[in-house]
Structure 1
Amino acid sequence: MMPRAMAAGAALLVTSLALASPAEEVKTRLLERYPATRVDAVSDTPIPGLFEVAMGRKIVYVDATGQYFLFGRIFDLPGNRDLTEDRLRAIAKVDVTQIPAVSILEQGEGSRIVYVFSDPACGHCQTLEQTLAGIPDLHVRTVLLPFQPDSAELARNIWCAPDRWAAWTAWMRQGVRPERAPEACQVDALLTRNKALAEQFGIRATPALVAPDGRVSLGALAAPELSAWLMPGETPVTQVIPEVVQ
């Protein structure tokens, strides 16, 4: 005879399985079949038997068995909507409140705010700085993100300067190299924190712009495109096919 406690546990398990939604069952199945693959969430789609799988900032589709994957987009033709784009835009947004004030080079008091993840040795970042200088009513919040081999020393010299923003703009916009920072001024912890924050946001290249509403744009936009992007609205998201590991 099954002990009462075991019987109760078995009944609870059966009840839990019975209450699980099809999407939850698919997620469980995926985690069992592909334990090395990141699976953040599984949700229904308008197509019966097809489920959306969120993997970080990427989306794939899978059938109920977890065996067949679809890498692509779903379009609602009568509604003229790219449903995958809608979802990518939603999961691509970042929470700017997680960017600590102590990590920011701040300049301007304009009504249009933009966060810029920038590498002092990045040519495209320097191009973007020239563009930012010509856009009115702007409030720029720059996060130093040294990816290049000689970027860390440049970042330290800029951050440790008496006037950080002046040192930054002199270098990025005019090519005037910052003076060597005092040995007592160390920024390793700051730069490590910035890199961790960028990784959390899915930012792996510079320049990267982040709007107050969480939208992200990679690359140096020209002035007209940047001005339009600064207005709240919809922007396309580029998706990279994720890796599925068994």
Structure 2
Amino acid sequence: MRFIVVMMALMMNVACADQTPPAAKEAQPVVVPGDSSLAMEKLQQAFPGMPVAAVEPSIVPGMFMIQVQGDWLHVTADGRFVFAGEVFELRDNEGAVSLIEERQKAVRVPALQALDPAQMITFPAKQQQAEIYVFTDVSCGYCRQLHRQVADYNSLGITIHYLAFPRGGMASAAGRVMDDIWCSENRQLAMTEAKLEKPLSQTPQACDSPVASQYELGEQFGVRGTPAVFTTEGDQLGGYLAPSRMAKALGLVIAD
């Protein structure tokens, strides 16, 4: 069902595309509101095997929101129309608010807060003003570009927390390398070597690698390419941003 996600892709900034081939996932039990049964029946007829993760009423009258592979669809109660993409509400004093992004943030914030710091690879700023969570892939050119500038981000007060997102899936070469990185004694060194396209100088140890769970988290967040950058408030800043632009996007004041 990857084509549904592609339909919804409104990529911002610069990122390497997700290369994961379409794969059917085992369906999990989903609580379906009774009055959405007709919509769900027609949706499943049109897209057999669609991996629906959640169904809930939308604030748009007569519509439901359906979560599929980390993204949200809007469907009418009669199942006649499906909308894949942004839906905005024009609110007094707030302007246009994306219902999709608002719902995604409600998923992301608690998930980010629940992350174990020991499971991330962090490059901390000495005088931290902001933190970003970056889903990364060692085979991605823009990820390498971001990493080459880690010191510049840090100097602006930006701490970088890396999470793994091998675009080709866990069985890809990048997925195997990232397992080795997370199972290295010095993860920072291993990450830097991989991003510089150098062989890893450390022998990976047997460990319970978090790469697979972080990859799944990225899918839940709607990640479709790397680097995918998120703030602690759950906002997605897009893909690669140069250090000064990243600081501006985070609302940091940069001295001239």
| TM-score, normalised by the number of residues in structure 2 | 0.64
Query: Which residue of structure 2 aligns with residue 155 of structure 1?
Result: 178
Between 123-132 and 35-44, the greater mean CA deviation after superposition = 35-44
Match of 1:216 in 2: 236
Query: What pairs with 1:188-207 in structure 2 (closer than 5 Å)?
Result: 189-207=209-227
Question: What are the ranges of 5 or more consecutive residues in structure 2 without an aligned counterpart?
Answer: 1-32
Q: Which protein shows a greater Rg? A: 1
Does 2:130 align with 1:118? no
1:159–1:70 Cα change, 3 Å: closer
C-alpha distance in 2 between matches for 1:133 and 1:177: 22
1:104 deviates by 0.5
Structure 2: distance between partners of 1:103 and 1:217: 22
Letter in 2 for 1:58: W
Q: Which residue of 2 aligns with 1:42?
A: 57
User: Aligned pair 1:65/2:85, yes or no?
Assistant: no
Distance 1:52 1:207, change over 3 A: same
By how many angstroms is 1:121 displaced? Answer: 1.6
Report sequence identity in percent: 19
CA drift of 1:221 comes to 1.9
Number of the residue aligned with 1:5? none
Counterpart CA distance in 1 for 2:149 and 2:75 is 39
Show the 5 A alignment for 1:84-233: 85=98, 87-93=99-105, 94=108, 95-109=111-125, 110-135=128-153, 136-148=156-168, 149-172=172-195, 174-179=196-201, 181-182=203-204, 185-187=205-207, 189-231=209-251
Task: After TM superposition, give the deviation of residue 71 of structure 1 in Å.
Answer: 5.2
> Are the equivalent residues in 2 in contact too, given 1:157–1:179 (CA < 8 A)?
no
Unaligned runs of 5+ in 1: 1-23, 233-246
Query: Would you say the 8 A contact 2:43–2:79 is kept in 1?
Result: no
Q: Number of residues paired by the alignment?
A: 201
Residue identity matched to 1:33:
K
Q: Counterpart in 1 of 2:65?
A: 53
- Partner letter of residue 58 of structure 2? S
Q: CA RMSD in A?
A: 3.3
User: Within the alignment, does 1:31 sit opposite 2:51 as a pair?
Assistant: no
With normalisation by structure 1, the TM-score equals: 0.66
Letter in 2 for 1:169: T
Question: In 2, distance between residues paired with 1:224 and 1:114?
Answer: 14
Alignment check: 8 A CA contact 1:156 1:187 kept: no
Give the Cα separation in 2 of the matches to 1:209 and 1:157: 23
Indicate the structure with greater helix content: 1
